[in-house]
A and B are shown apart, each in its own frame.
Chain A
Amino acid sequence: MSSALELFAQLTVNGIAVGAIYALVALGIVLIHKATEVLNFAHGDLLVLSAFSAWALIEGAGLPFWLVLPIVALGIGVVSYGIDAVIVRRIAGQPQFAGVMLTIALAFMLRGLVMMGFGTDSQSYDTPWSGQSTTVLGVTIADLSLVIMGVVFVIAALLWVFFRKTRLGVAMQAASQNQLAAHLNGVRVKRLNSLVWALAGVTAAIAGMFLAPVTLVDTALWLITLKALAAIVLGGFGSLPGAVLGGVLIGLIEQYAGVYLPDGFKDIAAYLVLIAVLILKPNGLLGDAHGRRV
């Protein structure tokens, strides 16, 4: 293979690997937004919390990664359920802006708590796949990236099955379409919303635990929320398949921009895409159109 083609292939693989994480974060945000119309700006801070928790359990308590994974995922799920049940639920029915402000407040509080509990230094931990890589056709892929892609694929598939085939999933879909109607049909909307938060919390925890070994365990991890927003917008707001597609595309665009575009574009590519999509095609790739009636 020519080196230009090899580079392109390498970038594509890297882009999908990074994009898979974006997709997972985006999925969690879309889940909550679909169910409750709250755009969760604290999602990235759940990632931060899970990364630091995992670090404490692996490096501090010496537990193996495969054991820490379910513990932290469950723990963050419970925290996330609690956040909705105790705090976010209170503003149901208020304008969207209130939800934005409240989750920003929650983000600040979570970040503050993490800083107070775990300190502000960057940390790192290893996974069973750290430091190993596989080479296929001249393209080198870190094993961890392969695992991440696999995990995200499995989670996306599980969510698809969950929403299509299970009673709870169908109830969640119904509630997200029309909360009042669902409520009148005996769906316990409030509890359901909290469960959606818990589910989103679990995805955030998994994303956090797999992202941290790739980057660092750091409070700056929350910035991934912004990349995920770009992914959500590109995919079409409110669409779960769109979130996955958008995440992967943003990952790819960033990788290509880093090599094929002038210096500095890699950092802003996602945001330029976000602005362009919202101006030119606000419904994104897979979103559906709405109009307001009077």
Chain B
Amino acid sequence: MTGPLLELDKVALHFGGLAAISDLSISVNAGEVLAVIGPNGAGKTSMLNLVTRVFEATKGRILFKGQDIARAPRSKIAHLGIARTFQNIELFDAASVLDNLLLGRHRFGAGAWWQQVLRTPGLTRREEDHRAKVETVIEFLDLSAWRNAQVASLPYGVRKVVELGRALCSEPEILFLDEPASGLNPEETRDLAFWIDDIRSDLGITVVMIEHDMSLVSAVADRVVCMAQGRVLAQGTSAEVQAHPDVISAYLGT
């Protein structure tokens, strides 16, 4: 395939008179780890919310594999192969880790309603297939100790991993991570760095992560985009972006 995997083309997002994002163009190439950095309120999460259709773009196009998804129904995004995690963990708290991960498989279908009611042999086989796939993710993220635990009872760090696992269960082509390292201790952050690397190289998933932790960004990102006030300020390698004068002034607030 030619061209970028995902392309935001002159996208704008206005809330009433307030422009959260204006004239934003970002492209994500297949197979890369792209980090999006920027001060608070730069519009990073808004950008992600536009792609996953939580918000309606005021202007512009969002092309995923050449197809404009800026007006697609919110529940269709996952079916295209776009997965995400949330800044303030959005897990299904009252369910077990296993059920959370199985919900990640939703887009692959769970059988017709009558098959589910009757629990036909075909459905049981299908459930077993989903379960087998979930087990590979459990193994990949080392979650087996928590398999049957209720999410609400898990420590914060584990919950972040479960959320990552749930996104992986949907076998996305592109994975958005919204501040994956926030609230993690250094050890957990190091694990995360290895996982992100593996997700890209072993699973072949393109990763876009919004992150403040520059050590993590430098460690795993192929390319860095810095946003401020709803625009792209600079992009390039981690070192280039960090040395960019506009970026420095945006962070220092001059």
Closest-by-CB residue of A relative to B46 is A293
For the complex, give the distance between the alpha carbons of A223 and B54 in Å.
Answer: 40
For the complex, give the distance between the alpha carbons of A294 and B52 in Å.
Answer: 11
Question: Which chain A residues border B88 with CB–CB below 8 Å?
Answer: 294
Closest-by-CB residue of A relative to B88 is A294
Question: Which chain B residues border A294 with CB–CB below 8 Å?
Answer: 49, 54, 86-88, 90
For the complex, give the distance between the alpha carbons of A294 and B90 in Å.
Answer: 8
Tell me the A252-294 residues at the B interface (CB within 8 Å). Answer: 294
Closest-by-CB residue of A relative to B86 is A294
Closest-by-CB residue of B relative to A294 is B86
For the complex, give the distance between the alpha carbons of A285 and B87 in Å.
Answer: 34
- Contact code string B39-70 (vs A, CB < 8 Å = 1, else 0): 00000000001000010000000000000000
- Majority SS of interface residues in chain B? loop
Question: Which chain A residues border B54 with CB–CB below 8 Å?
Answer: 294
CB proximity of B29 to chain A, nearest CB, Å: 27
For the complex, give the distance between the alpha carbons of A54 and B239 in Å.
Answer: 79
Number of interface residues of A (CB under 8 A): 1
CB proximity of B224 to chain A, nearest CB, Å: 24
Interface size class on chain B is: under 10
CB proximity of A187 to chain B, nearest CB, Å: 26
Closest-by-CB residue of A relative to B90 is A294
Question: Which chain A residues border B86 with CB–CB below 8 Å?
Answer: 294
For the complex, give the distance between the alpha carbons of A294 and B49 in Å.
Answer: 8
- Contact code string B73-89 (vs A, CB < 8 Å = 1, else 0): 00000000000001110
CB proximity of A115 to chain B, nearest CB, Å: 38
For the complex, give the distance between the alpha carbons of A208 and B90 in Å.
Answer: 45
CB proximity of B94 to chain A, nearest CB, Å: 11
CB proximity of A257 to chain B, nearest CB, Å: 37
Closest-by-CB residue of A relative to B52 is A294
CB proximity of A280 to chain B, nearest CB, Å: 21
For the complex, give the distance between the alpha carbons of A42 and B87 in Å.
Answer: 39
Question: Which chain A residues border B87 with CB–CB below 8 Å?
Answer: 294
For the complex, give the distance between the alpha carbons of A294 and B54 in Å.
Answer: 9
For the complex, give the distance between the alpha carbons of A294 and B86 in Å.
Answer: 7
CB proximity of B83 to chain A, nearest CB, Å: 14
CB proximity of A254 to chain B, nearest CB, Å: 37
Question: Which chain A residues border B90 with CB–CB below 8 Å?
Answer: 294
Tell me the B80-113 residues at the A interface (CB within 8 Å). Answer: 86-88, 90
For the complex, give the distance between the alpha carbons of A294 and B55 in Å.
Answer: 11
CB proximity of B166 to chain A, nearest CB, Å: 15
For the complex, give the distance between the alpha carbons of A294 and B87 in Å.
Answer: 7
CB proximity of B93 to chain A, nearest CB, Å: 11
For the complex, give the distance between the alpha carbons of A94 and B88 in Å.
Answer: 19
Question: Which chain A residues border B49 with CB–CB below 8 Å?
Answer: 294
For the complex, give the distance between the alpha carbons of A96 and B87 in Å.
Answer: 24
Closest-by-CB residue of B relative to A292 is B54
CB proximity of B146 to chain A, nearest CB, Å: 24
CB proximity of B43 to chain A, nearest CB, Å: 13
For the complex, give the distance between the alpha carbons of A294 and B163 in Å.
Answer: 14
CB proximity of B246 to chain A, nearest CB, Å: 28
Tell me the A176-233 residues at the B interface (CB within 8 Å). Answer: none
CB proximity of A136 to chain B, nearest CB, Å: 47
For the complex, give the distance between the alpha carbons of A294 and B51 in Å.
Answer: 13
CB proximity of B13 to chain A, nearest CB, Å: 13
CB proximity of B129 to chain A, nearest CB, Å: 31
For the complex, give the distance between the alpha carbons of A294 and B88 in Å.
Answer: 7
For the complex, give the distance between the alpha carbons of A73 and B86 in Å.
Answer: 50
For the complex, give the distance between the alpha carbons of A54 and B34 in Å.
Answer: 72
For the complex, give the distance between the alpha carbons of A159 and B87 in Å.
Answer: 41
CB proximity of A222 to chain B, nearest CB, Å: 33
CB proximity of A97 to chain B, nearest CB, Å: 13
CB proximity of B84 to chain A, nearest CB, Å: 10
Closest-by-CB residue of A relative to B178 is A294
Tell me the A84-99 residues at the B interface (CB within 8 Å). Answer: none
CB proximity of B50 to chain A, nearest CB, Å: 12
- Contact code string B167-181 (vs A, CB < 8 Å = 1, else 0): 000000000000000
For the complex, give the distance between the alpha carbons of A294 and B176 in Å.
Answer: 14
CB proximity of B85 to chain A, nearest CB, Å: 11
CB proximity of B180 to chain A, nearest CB, Å: 15
Closest-by-CB residue of A relative to B54 is A294
CB proximity of B209 to chain A, nearest CB, Å: 16
Tell me the B226-245 residues at the A interface (CB within 8 Å). Answer: none
Tell me the A8-45 residues at the B interface (CB within 8 Å). Answer: none
CB proximity of A96 to chain B, nearest CB, Å: 16
For the complex, give the distance between the alpha carbons of A171 and B246 in Å.
Answer: 44
For the complex, give the distance between the alpha carbons of A25 and B226 in Å.
Answer: 54
Residues of chain A having any CB pair with chain B under 8 Å: 294
Residues of chain B having any CB pair with chain A under 8 Å: 49, 54, 86-88, 90
Q: Could you list some 6 contacts between A and B, CB below 8 A?
A: A294-B49, A294-B54, A294-B86, A294-B87, A294-B88, A294-B90
Which 6 A-B residue pairs are closest in the complex by CB-CB distance?
A294-B86, A294-B54, A294-B90, A294-B49, A294-B87, A294-B88
